[in-house]
């Protein structure tokens, strides 16, 4: 199994140095949709690569909501990350209202289409890179409410089928994010087609994080 830690930007360089001799990867929590130019406060994929990160989260629901990030912006970020040898962790997910109205797949398709369009235009991804799709139902994040396993089985089978139809030669990983912790990981790890987890709150408590890692080892 693989562990990726994603601290804030100011911690990236010292933590990359700290873990250089340990088999743990470091990722950023976001990157800019621009690769260069006058964009004060942005951190480019090139900078994330140069600091030593091998992963970057993009499209997190908080950024989509609070920073008005669009699906096309997230796709641009992904392309830049792949250009600079950083594996993207692309977050997708629906709100409670969208889930309640049965619109989950419609919302996920809208979020994924620009990602898949960008992938289909690429000849290849760089050797060893993965494209990681993290399904994080927004209504589940931080609430302790977990979707039914049958629902997750359906979602992951649907995402996997669409991704492999776009490019079956890419190393795709499919992650679940949303209130995953030591109390439910034994159930969640049996979700079909799920390769791993994007942990939020449970990653900030070392003992809790340790329990999750041990359960998945």
What are the pLDDT digits (tens) for 164-175? 999 888 899 999
Query: Which one from 33, 69, 94, 136 is the annotated catalytic residue?
Result: 136
What average pLDDT score do residues 10-19 get? 96
Q: What is the arithmetic mean of pLDDT over 62-69?
A: 96
Residue 12 confidence (pLDDT) above 80 = yes
- Annotated catalytic residue 60: yes
Q: What is the pLDDT of residue 124?
A: 73
Prediction pTM value: 0.96
Comparing CA positions, the residue from 19, 22, 20, 46 lying closest to residue 32 is: 46
With tokens 């977050």, the residue in question is: 91
What secondary structure letter does DSSP report for 176? E
Q: Which of 60, 69, 80, 94 is catalytic?
A: 60
Q: Which tokens hold the place of 86?
A: 């950083």
- Average the pLDDT over 170-198 and give the result: 95
Question: Can you give the pLDDT at residue 128?
Answer: 75
Percent of the chain with pLDDT over 70: 100
Please count the CA atoms within 13 angstroms of the CA of 38 that sit on its side-chain side. Answer: 0
Q: Output the pLDDT for position 149.
A: 95
Q: What is the pLDDT of residue 157?
A: 97
- From residue 8, how far is each of 37, 104, 118, 182, 196 by CA, in Å? 23, 30, 27, 24, 21
Query: Sorting pLDDT into bands at 50, 70 and 90, what band is 84?
Result: very high
Distance CA(21)–CA(23), nearest Å, equals 7
pLDDT of residue 125: 73
Output the pLDDT for position 137.
Answer: 95
């Amino acid at each position: 199994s693989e562990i990726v830690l994603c601290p804030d930007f100011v911690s990236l360089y010292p933590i990359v140095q700290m873990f250089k001799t340990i088999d743990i990867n470091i990722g950023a929590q976001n990157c800019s949709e621009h690769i260069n130019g006058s964009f004060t406060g942005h951190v480019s994929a090139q900078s994330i690569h140069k600091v030593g990160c091998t992963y970057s989260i993009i499209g997190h629901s908080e950024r989509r909501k609070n920073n008005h990030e669009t699906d096309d912006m997230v796709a641009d970020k992904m392309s830049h990350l792949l250009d600079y040898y950083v594996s993207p962790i692309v977050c997708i997910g629906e709100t409670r209202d969208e889930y309640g109205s049965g619109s989950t797949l419609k919302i996920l398709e809208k979020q994924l289409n620009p990602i898949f369009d960008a992938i289909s235009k690429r000849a290849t991804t760089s050797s060893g890179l993965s494209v990681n799709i993290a399904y994080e139902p927004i209504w589940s994040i931080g609430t302790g409410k977990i979707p039914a396993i049958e629902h997750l089985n359906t979602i992951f089978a649907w995402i996997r089928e669409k991704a492999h139809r776009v490019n079956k030669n890419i190393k795709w990983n499919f992650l679940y994010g949303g209130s995953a912790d030591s109390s439910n990981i034994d159930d969640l790890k049996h979700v079909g087609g799920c390769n791993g987890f994007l942990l939020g709150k449970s990653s900030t408590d070392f003992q809790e994080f340790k329990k999750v890692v041990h359960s998945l080892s």
